[in-house]
Amino acid sequence: MLPDAAKGAQGIFYGKHNFSFPTHMNYGIYFIERILNFKDKRALVNGTTGEEITFGHIVREVLNVAASLVELGVRKGDLVAVVSENRSEVLTAILAAMCAGASVTLINSAYTAGEFIHTASITKPKFMFLSPTGYKKHHETLKKLTFVSNILLFGDSSSKEIISYNDLANKEADFTNFVDYYGRVEVALVLYSSGTTGLPKGAKVTHANLIAAAQQHDFCPDKSALTLAPLCNTFGLTTTLKALVNGKMVIHLSRFKQELFLETIQKYKAELHFFSRLPNLRVLQGYGSTETTGPITEETVADHRQGSIGKVVQGIVIKVVDIESRKILGPGEPGEVCVNGVVLFDGYIGKPKSDVFDDDGFYRTGDIAYYDQDGYFFIIDRLKELIKYKAWQVSPAEIEGVLLKHPAVKDAGVIGAPDPLSGELPTAFVVKQQGAEVTENDIIEFVSLEVSPWKLLRGGVRFVSEIPKTGSGKILRRILREMLKAKSKI
């Protein structure tokens, strides 16, 4: 067994990997088997309504819904979609579908009609769970999705054409014959990349990935968790599942409201959360992706280094390679992060593996980072987002960090503007602080005092009302490029 964050030959880092797998290889059943140890304990708490359910309640509901899905015709290999804001039924529906042998995909209920159609069309689910809010928003769009044969509504349904979730959950069903995979690697989830550089792609996460992720190191054991993260994204879902499978109570809120947030912490004695204004709070950083079923590196309370994203986690192998030569790099040398391991996904739907995996089977993340002599990693930027100015590579994140130091700048995003002579010119989009007076030249001069000559804002500054971002806060640079392109046509 390798120790945590062991450094292998030629600068490759290994997280220790002592995992065990059940013969049935079904994450839904694995989850049920694990939480039976905590069946009388509180599992999920809705911080807004105060609704509480126990682990035992989850077991009964998952098995009832799973059996009902089988009766409805769900079969091994079918796709079941879930479209909802955060609520307990999201988790029970996901686990029930897995137990029934189906793969599950999660679609953000806040999507526009176009985004909804694009995402659903990647997997073409036959069955779709929706919350009342999600159904109200997308019921017209659903008519265009001819591949959806059954609509299941969380709560009760007054329509004969729509199946009530409560009817499925309250039906005492016999579910003794669950689907066995007998060691085969099957897809459990199709999760979507955040789409910062293009439309989302469907990442295939296997049952083995999820089972391994459940056994990764828990840096805050025995602490209840408060989460605001949407369950439709990888971070929200995998961290919630991991907490529950290890017997933690999870309190969930659908959105951030300061008073409710603080009241919830006090009421439920939540110990694991993020909030920058709380005194004496240790903020731990990590780095992960949909494609690795969660974390790649993370800090722990006992293992912290300023500015670092921590060390490699269990189930992950990391190498940092030169962008051009693909040579493995040493300490302090920035390059692309490439990862492998038992939690690594099975590729994207409809995309050749050779597009995203190297010859050694490592996933090319597109993230630029370096590590120090002690194995701590530091992220610099995204490979696809690097601006190519002549022979230089410019990090947008670095310039954005400089811009945010200016007292008149509230938010900023940087991209490269196409240029026939230089390749790309660093160009800034800036949101002013309320009431601030600042000019384009003021911003350009401020940046010039902070950066090297090739990082100057030669593409200029555009003042905007907001920087487009994903729900998880990532800058949507593709939209900035569209804005720049539209401006140039005027």
Q: What is the pLDDT of residues 451-470, one digit of tens each?
A: 888 899 999 999 999 999 88
Distance CA 394, CA 326 (A): 19
Query: What is the per-residue pLDDT for 148?
Result: 96
Which pair of structure tokens corresponds to residue 43? Answer: 């599992």
Angle 386-387-392 from CA coordinates, rounded to 5°: 100
| Beta-strand pair 387-389/392-394 | antiparallel
Residue in 291, 351, 336 with CA at minimum distance from that of residue 316: 291
In the predicted structure, residue 442 carries a pLDDT above the cut 90:
yes
In this prediction, residue 14 has a pLDDT band, given cuts at 50, 70 and 90, of confident
Backbone angles phi, psi at 482, to 5 degrees: -65, -40
Domains recognised in the chain with CATH numbers: 6-16+282-383 (2.30.38.10), 27-267 (3.40.50.12780), 386-489 (3.30.300.30)
Distance CA 302, CA 104 (A): 36
Beta-carbon contacts of 55 under 8 Å, excluding residues fewer than 6 positions away, are 35, 36, 38, 39, 40, 41, 43, 244, 247
In the predicted structure, residue 160 carries a pLDDT above the cut 70:
yes
In this prediction, residue 324 has a pLDDT band, given cuts at 50, 70 and 90, of confident
In the predicted structure, residue 447 carries a pLDDT above the cut 90:
yes
Query: What is the per-residue pLDDT for 301?
Result: 75
Q: Which helix (H) or strand (E) holds 397?
A: helix 396-403
Q: Which helix (H) or strand (E) holds 251?
A: strand 250-252
In the predicted structure, residue 278 carries a pLDDT above the cut 90:
no
Percent of the chain predicted with pLDDT > 70: 90
Looking at per-residue pLDDT, the higher value among 109 and 80 belongs to 80
User: Whose structure tokens read 């369950």?
Assistant: 231
Query: What is the per-residue pLDDT for 225?
Result: 85
Return the HEC string of 98-128. HHCCCEEEEECCCCCHHHHHHHHHHHCCCEE
In the predicted structure, residue 82 carries a pLDDT above the cut 60:
yes
Compute how many other C-beta atoms are within 10 angstroms of the C-beta atom of residue 222. 9
What's the average model confidence in pLDDT over 159-181? 81
Q: What is the pLDDT of residues 135-152, one digit of tens each?
A: 999 999 999 999 999 999
Residue-by-residue DSSP string for 315-332:
T-EEEEE-TTT-PBP-TT
Query: What is the per-residue pLDDT for 304?
Result: 80
What's the average model confidence in pLDDT over 154-172? 90
Query: What is the per-residue pLDDT for 1?
Result: 34
Query: What is the per-residue pLDDT for 4?
Result: 47
Average pLDDT, the chain: 88
